[in-house]
Amino acid sequence: MSVDRAFQRIWYGRSRVASIPLVPLSWLFAALAGLRRNAYRVGLLRRHRLDVPVLVVGNVTVGGTGKTPFTIWLAERLSARGLSVGIVLRGYRGSSPIWPRHIQAHTPWQEVGDEPVLIARRTSAIVVAGPDRVAAARHAVGLGAEIIVSDDGLQHYRLERDCEILVVDGTRLFGNGRMLPAGPLREPQSRCERVDLRVVTVRDSLRSATPLRGTLPTIYAQARVTRAVNLVSGETRALHAFVGDTVHAVAAIGHPEGFFAALEQRGLTIQAHAYPDHAPLAREHIVFADDAPVLMTEKDAVKCAVLADARHWAVPLEIALDEQDERIVDALLERVLSEAR
């Protein structure tokens, strides 16, 4: 078992006992995170404001919450308003010698990470990656962005923001409620009460998630998988076409069990293959002894396109909101845009 998977079991397991030896380290992490956050709040560390509105989409936990699919949905919502949207993100594990980088659909993922390339392929936004979020946002504005969406940017306080959107996994919530490394929290749970909107992602029916406490606006986003796209031919099939036979399911994401469960909810029988989040996949990770179809997340498909054959399929994760929650998002966007005029 990888270190990543071991920590996931500690953080989200039923027992809190296994995390007790790590609690002193979590106290230290919490103290340092609090000092840094307060340094920005009182002005000891400088925040940088842009000439365009900045929306931050993030989470307080490590691992998958559906944040990137929601960022894609939000970017398309903003584009539908006629805005030129810029999306900035870190470019995790990218080897580029030059940052920030303007990401396009054909940009090598090895240089900039898998998520930026995925977002560039799925949206019409100006996508810029780089470890310096302020520099990346300024670069996007220089390329014509009229509004910035900072993906996984909640803890990047150097970039001043006009709106904060918190994404929470509706099944796992905050795990054991402890800070890193004893738990999955990057910041205290109380941070969830200081955002503009909370988005709870669920993988079955809307509003089936555990409700969040507090009075802040909260919406529910259904993360759906309905189709698969062949990595070689581009053919699209409904997932029910794979029902009846065992398929391989590959996921190198923060919460692979969520992907596997989503396929099973569609009636598929799967043989699961979980790898660490953002792991660089080789052919031996996706090619198996039989001829069964291999279904993988869209993020993993970015890394596997050159390795694939006719057996390999990408399964897009798509976000859906009901009309009431769409109106809540639209009202928030209208407020941010009107304040910027």
Q: What is the pLDDT of residue 16?
A: 77
Q: Are strands 312-315 and 227-230 parallel, antiparallel or unpaired?
A: antiparallel
In a domain, 256, yes or no: yes
* Contact by Cβ (8 Å): 256, 274: yes
DSSP string, 312-330: EEEE--EEE--HHHHHHHH
The parent domain of residue 304 ranges over: 226-316
Q: What is the pLDDT of residue 255?
A: 84
Q: Which residues of the chain have pLDDT under 70?
A: 1-5, 14, 204-211
SS3 97: coil
Tokens of 86: 């810029």
Q: What is the pLDDT of residue 277?
A: 85
pLDDT digits (tens, 9 = 90+) for 243-300: 999 999 999 988 888 899 999 999 999 999 999 888 889 999 999 999 999 999 999 9
**Residue 99, number of CB atoms within 10 A of its CB:** 17
Residues 266 and 310 in one domain: yes
Q: What is the pLDDT of residue 4?
A: 66
DSSP-assigned letter for residue 135: H
Q: What is the pLDDT of residue 211?
A: 64
Residues 205 and 334 in one domain: yes
In a domain, 150, yes or no: yes
In a domain, 76, yes or no: yes
Residues 310 and 165 in one domain: no
In a domain, 265, yes or no: yes
Residues 206 and 233 in one domain: no
Residues 305 and 286 in one domain: yes
Q: What is the pLDDT of residue 280?
A: 87
* pTM of the predicted protein model: 0.92
SS3 236: strand
In a domain, 293, yes or no: yes
Residues 188 and 63 in one domain: yes
Residues 178 and 287 in one domain: no
Residues 242 and 293 in one domain: yes
Q: Give the N- to C-terminal CA distance of the chain in Å, as an integer.
A: 52
Residues 187 and 336 in one domain: yes
In a domain, 109, yes or no: no
Domains held by the chain: number = 2
Q: What is the pLDDT of residue 156?
A: 95
Residues 58 and 168 in one domain: yes
In a domain, 200, yes or no: yes
